[in-house]
Amino acid sequence: MNLLFRIFAPSALVLLSLPALAAGPMTRFEFELETGRIASTFTHARAVCDALTSNTKDICVEEARAVQSIAHAELAFRRSGHLSDAAAIPVVRAEAGYAVARERCDEQVGADKARCLAEAKAAQAGALAEAKAGAGGSIARTPVDTRRNADYPRAVAKCEAMASDTRSHCLTAARKKAGKT
């Protein structure tokens, strides 16, 4: 399944980089052309996914949607050039990555699925924290503080899978490390 993503992602990026080579703002025609290319790439990827079955198909479709949503966010930035559109790209990447990871977790059951979902949510929180910090988020926070806050949900999820005595010590250590005591 990862193979399909590796095949389609570079081709989508190549197609999307063509207008970036041209100087100046994007014309309406170029924008519509790029929108059509994104749609046709998604349609092709979706057709490949239709040949698959069960959760493999769901993962494939979610990966295709992720590539499409990231491509649309990048296209919006290339068209407008606004910093707000540039700041939206990492957020869209984080959300798309979370959606794919959540779909991958559907193959698992019980505690493994819960741990997988918690790790996916923690990875999304970390990516969103990095996006916020990179977009001029909280000035008072240092990169170390941002990293600690992003790692905290992952540490808590790891602790939740432990036995009760070990869990309490693990949670205390995680809170102390994140500065939440």
Q: Which residue bears the tokens 């949503």?
A: 69
Last residue of a domain, one of 107, 138, 153: 107
Per residue in 54-79, pLDDT (tens digit) is: 888 988 889 999 999 999 999 888 88
CA nearest 64: which of 44, 80, 84? Answer: 44
SS3 82: coil
Considering the domain architecture, whether residues 79 and 114 belong to the same structural domain is answered as no
Mind giving me the DSSP string for 122-171? HHHHHHHHHHHHHTT--SS--HHHHHHHHHHHHHHHHHHTS-HHHHHHHH
Considering the domain architecture, whether residues 69 and 122 belong to the same structural domain is answered as no
Per residue in 154-170, pLDDT (tens digit) is: 777 777 777 777 777 78
pLDDT at 10 over 60: no
Considering the domain architecture, whether residues 91 and 16 belong to the same structural domain is answered as yes
Give residue 155's pLDDT.
75
Considering the domain architecture, whether residues 126 and 150 belong to the same structural domain is answered as yes
Considering the domain architecture, whether residues 153 and 177 belong to the same structural domain is answered as yes
Give residue 69's pLDDT.
92
CA nearest 136: which of 60, 61, 83? Answer: 83
pLDDT at 16 over 60: no
Considering the domain architecture, whether residues 62 and 118 belong to the same structural domain is answered as no
Considering the domain architecture, whether residues 3 and 82 belong to the same structural domain is answered as yes
Considering the domain architecture, whether residues 34 and 100 belong to the same structural domain is answered as yes
Considering the domain architecture, whether residues 9 and 88 belong to the same structural domain is answered as yes
Last residue of a domain, one of 62, 91, 107: 107
* Percent over 90 (pLDDT), the chain: 12
pLDDT at 88 over 50: yes
pLDDT at 81 over 60: yes
Task: Count up the domains in the chain and report the number.
Answer: 2
Give residue 141's pLDDT.
45
- Mean of pLDDT values over 125-133: 83
CA 27 – CA 33 distance, rounded (Å): 10
pTM of the model: 0.60
Those residues whose C-beta lies under 8 Å from the C-beta of residue 100, and which sit 6 or more positions away, are 59, 62, 63, 66
Considering the domain architecture, whether residues 25 and 98 belong to the same structural domain is answered as yes
- Computed over every residue of the chain, the mean pLDDT equals 77
Give the range of the structural domain holding residue 145, as residue numbers without chain letter. Answer: 109-181
